[in-house]
Amino acid sequence: MSEDVTFDLGAAAWRHAHGDEESYLEALAERLTRSLPSLVAVHRESHLFSKIHPLSRIEVQLDPDTYLLVKEHARWVPRKAKMVRGIILSTHELSLTEWLGELSQAITTYAQAHREARQSLEDFLL
C-alpha cells in the first residue's frame, strides 16, 4: 500500500444505510475495535436475562480528542471532546456525517504517526 493511508469510515455508506442505522453502527463498532483495540471502548446495554446487548456508546481516544457516539433517548448523539489527563475540558456535538469525517481524519493522522497501528489498518483494509 502507498505511504498515504486513509481510513474512510464511510459517511456515504452511512447515508445509504441510514434506514438501518443500528446495523451500520454495530458494524462500525466492530470495525473500530478490530483495527484499533487499545483506543476504542464499546459499551453495551445490559438487560437482566437478555441475550441481546445493544450498543449504547462508542469511545475513540485519540489524544487530545475523544470521539464519542452515545445513544440518548433512542437517538444517537455524536460528540467530540477535548481531554487532558483524563479530564474533559470541552465537548461539542456534531452531525454524524461530520463526526465520521473528523474521526476518519484523526485515525489517518494517528496511523501515519504510529507504524504498528498503520500496519494493522493496512491489513484490515486490504
Q: Sign of the CA dihedral 91, 92, 96, 102?
A: negative
pLDDT at 3: 44
Domain boundaries along the sequence of the chain: 11-125
Local confidence pLDDT in tens for the 126 residues of the chain: 444 445 566 555 555 555 678 888 898 899 899 888 999 999 998 888 888 888 999 999 998 899 999 999 989 999 999 988 888 899 999 998 899 999 989 988 888 887 776 677 777 666
The sheet with strand 55-62 has its strands ordered as: 40-44, 55-62, 65-72, 75-84, 87-93
* pLDDT of amino acid 46: 84
